[in-house]
Each structure stands twice: as C-alpha cells, then as structure tokens.
Amino acid sequence: MSNDILDAAVRDSETVALTVELLKRRSLTPDDAGCHDLIAARLEKLGFHVERHRHNGVDNLWARRGQASPLICFAGHTDVVPTGPLEAWASDPFAPTLRDGNLYARGAADMKTSDAAFVTAIERFVAGHADHKGSIALLLTSDEEGPATDGTVKVVEALKARGEFLDYCIVGEPTSAAEFGDTIKNGRRGSLSGRLTVKGVQGHIAYPHLAKNPIHLAAPAIAELADTMWDEGNAYFPPTTWQISNIRAGTGATNVIPGTLEILFNFRYSTASTADGLKDAVHEILDSHGLDYEIEWTLSGKPFLTARGRLCDTLSEAVREVTGLTPELSTTGGTSDGRFIADICPQVVEFGPLNASIHKLNEHVAVDCIEPLSDIYRKTLEKLLLS
C-alpha cells in the first residue's frame, strides 16, 4: 500500500498519527527509544506533572494532572518483543505500513495503539473539561515484555511509599478476542513457578541395585501432581492448573543412571488459592513419596480480580456506546502489569484492541478501531469524572 494512503490516514486521525510515531521507534524491551519523551511533552502541555523513574536501564513514566480524588490511571508499556526473522515480515516491522485496512508494525496491537489512544483521549477530555474534578494519571514502562522487575512494579512501590493510591486503573492490553470491544479483562491468574530437583544416586545402568534412579522415584509423585485438583475456581476464574514445562536428567549416555532429575513447573492459579497454600500442597505430595528433593520457588504475579462495580460497568457502557457490543468480562490469558497495580488500586481492568496478532510476525491493528479506542477511553473518563 502506498505511503500516500498511510499519510491520508495520519492526516485524518490524531490517534493514528501518534500511533505511527510510536511504532517508528525501535523500542525493543527494555529500550524505550524515546516513546516516553514524545508522550511526556504532550502531557506537560496539559498541565501534567511528569516524573521519570529509571531503574537498571529501564525507563518508567508517571504523569499526573490534579491532586483530588478520584484518581483515574491509564497504564501501559512502550517496549515490544523482538521481531523474529525480518525476512518473514511482509514489511519492515519498524516502518508502519497500511494495507488491507490494517496498520502493520511490531507493537501495533501490543500495545502502542492503546498508548496513543490514552494520550488523545486525555487531550480531548481536558480540552472540553479543563476544570474537571478528580485526577488523571498515566503510567508507562519499558519493562513489561521483559523480566518486569524494574518497570511498573518499581513505580507502584514508589507511589505506595508516599501514600499515593489509585481509585481506578485501565491497562491498555489487547483484550479483544473476535471483535473489537468484545472482551474486558477484569482480572488475571497468578503465576507461581518451581524448579524441583529430585536427588538419586548415579550409577551404571547394568547395576541398578547400586544406584537410585530419580526419574523412577519421582514418577509416582509427578503422576499425583498432574492429577491433583488444586481448587474448583470461582465465578470469575477457572480451576488452578499445574503444568510441567521442562524435564531434564542424565548425562546423555545410554548406560548411566542419572544422579538428579530437574523439573520446571508452573501454577496458573485463581483467587481460590494462595501461593503459600499451593507450595504447602506440593511439599506434602513430594514428602508423602519419600523423595529427597529441593524446590526453588518464583512468584511472578499474584492473581487479581475486579468484580462488577463502578469501573467494569462504566467501561462496559462506554464500549457499548462506541461499538454496539456488550463486552464479556474475562480473566483468561497470561499475566499483565495489572498484577502490580492491584496492590495500590482496588479496581483494575484491561481493555484494548484485538490480540490475535500479538507477538507474531506481521503484527497489526485494524485502522478503523484506533479512533474508537480513544473514544472509549475518553467516554470512560467523562462518566467517571463528570457524573
């Protein structure tokens, strides 16, 4: 598709124009590549107080307008995942390209379109309601697609330390499944991982009585772990799941009984369980099989849930007014930075464009959904701060 058509789309839409500017920046995690500077300059013109929080090479931005409550925060990330093989893309992933009604670039769906829509929604709201009640904030990080240890979580810690709490937060993750506007995420499962090492005794495979095979020893426990019903879930979450992601043992030789077995596993758990409760249950099972073992635990995210209430209802109403769809509330999918924000905000939801192409080759977003996304965010601000 020619540049003329993209240029026309940019001229016709402020949100498309800002999306394109963000997409041109090679913000491979954790490099922000100037995205925050671009956004901060626009917010400062609106009277936002902008703070930069930099930790271990990660750039984070906290911008706030007003000091009164309620405080409504939009949250997102400007970093993107690697492109994969460039030759497999139909166009340069950092040269936004419009074809067949879609804007193609890395980060188009996840989630620079939402970042742009946040900004234009805020600009339009403030232009019409400069003396609005309450406060508006924007939280951005360049460490959502990476380890997520120096990004949003650090800003949340700083805000919490000074007693600054949010009333409502909308994270711009791509939540739509089949049609734009069909899904709002009102929670996410927690993620608890373990590195289990089962100890045996290495030996010659022809003399098994002189060795202890940790694979054989662990097999009954693995079967029990796989068959265990950890909880039944609840009205918002499916039951907790336990899955093995990797098993490693042996020297590579066919005549050696291994001395250790290493298993990597993960829980995706609901609010019906706790991390400590799951840990205790795993240890109880392993102990019941008499194994000699060690476990290293990693909690990468606690589950969070926003039940139906002011934020879910207000955002749903805005989505319905713009798209004609009544969005489903869902807690499916992986983790998001909402898991950190929930520590300082009682109502956290996620809403954004279609997620079908995220992290894939030829990632894209439908151009005709970009301005409606901004409209939804703006209407939500109006309903929360003007009513």
- Is the CB of residue 229 less than 8 Å from the CB of residue 242? no
- What's the rounded Cα separation, in Å, for the pair 22 and 260? 49
113: tokens are 């379109």
Determine how many CB atoms are found less than 10 A away from the CB of residue 298.
10
DSSP state of 240: P
Separation between Cα atoms, residue 262 and residue 197, nearest integer Å: 5
Q: Which of 59, 143, 144, 363 is catalytic?
A: 144
Instruction: Report the C-alpha gap between 295 and 282 in whole angstroms.
Output: 10
- How many helices (H) and strands (E) are present in the chain, helices listed first? 10, 19
Which residue of the set 31, 32, 59, 79 is catalytic?
A: 79
The C-alpha angle 110, 349, 161, rounded to 5 degrees, equals 100
Q: How far is CA 243 from the centre of its chain?
A: 20
Q: What is the separation, in whole angstroms, between the first and last Cα of the chain?
A: 44
Instruction: Tell me whether residue 276 is one of the annotated catalytic residues.
Output: no
Rounded to 10 deg, the angle between the 370-385 and 310-323 helix axes is 140
- CA–CA distance, 257 with 248 (Å, rounded to integer): 13
Q: Under a CB-based contact definition with an 8 Å cutoff, are residues 333 and 351 in contact?
A: no
Can 44 be counted among the known catalytic residues? no
User: Which residues carry out catalysis?
Assistant: 79, 144
